[in-house]
Every structure is written in C-alpha cells, then in structure tokens.
Copies of this chain bind each other. A is one copy, B any other.
Amino acid sequence: MSIRVTSWLESLQAHGYRLTEARRAVVEVVATSKRALSPLEVYEIARRRYPALGLVSVYRTLEMLSALHLVQRVHQEDGCNAYLPSLEGHQHLLICERCRRVEYFDGDDLEALFARVGEQTGFEIRSHWLQLFGLCQACKQAVS
C-alpha cells in the first residue's frame, strides 16, 4: 500500500470522514496515478477493485480530496476535468499532450515580473498559474 494512499485515508479520517470501500477505491486510484484522470476514468479503474462503486461517489470523493488540497484539477486546451495528486506547497505542472503524464517542477523566479506587471497595470497580483505542455520521453519516441 502506497504511503500516499495511507496518508490520504488518514487525512480523510482526521477530518471526520468515514472510511468506506468506495472512498478507499477512489483514493487508491488517484493517489497512485502518474497522470491526470477524469472522474469517469477514475470510476472505470476503481471499479476493477470495487465493482459496486457508483460514479457519484467518485465525484464526492474528488471534491473532498480537493477541499483538503490533496488533489488539484488540471486545465488543458482539450478539457479541464482531470485530477492529479497535489504535492506539498506551490508547484507547477509539465503535462504530456499525448498521454497526460505529469511532472512537477518548481524554481520559477517570477517575482520581478509580477512586480513590474503589477506596477504597470495597477493590479494587486494574488496568484499565478504556470503550466508547460509537451511530449514526455516515451511519447516523443512514439510520435517520431
């Protein structure tokens, strides 16, 4: 059992949620995924372990995990309904346009840019998204 699965289940419990088979199945799928999954994809995969699972429970569990900042929604040109484990703290995503595999990175240094843009526009800047798109190593070879 992945450490992340255990830790998510403990988090749910610590926030007063009960541990049920439906939640366990959803958590196991999402917490161990290396790619962004839509609710329907989560449903189809999780049902292999727990066939009685309902799609509604996938939505409800994703909403909880989202409120606890354990998952985040990923936006792409071709859809904005995929979810991914959130790492600790602020980080950015690099997404494979072909297979949806995701890598995390940080180390952007945009403070100077924010200051300049804030000054020029009069905006108070509160947050930002920086997301890269491309092809992962496997898909790069598959395509060429």
Contacts and interface: CB of A to CB of B under 8 A. Distances in A.
A54 interface: no
A17 to B, nearest CB: 23
Interface residues of A, number: 35
Contact of A94 (B80, B94, B121, B131): B121
Interface in A45-99: 75, 80, 94, 96-97
| Total identical chains | 2
A20 interface: no
B121 A125 contact: no
Contacts of A129: 75, 129-131, 133
Task: Give the 9 A-B residue pairs with the shortest CB-CB distance, closest first.
Answer: A122-B137, A125-B134, A126-B134, A75-B75, A123-B134, A129-B131, A103-B121, A124-B135, A80-B80
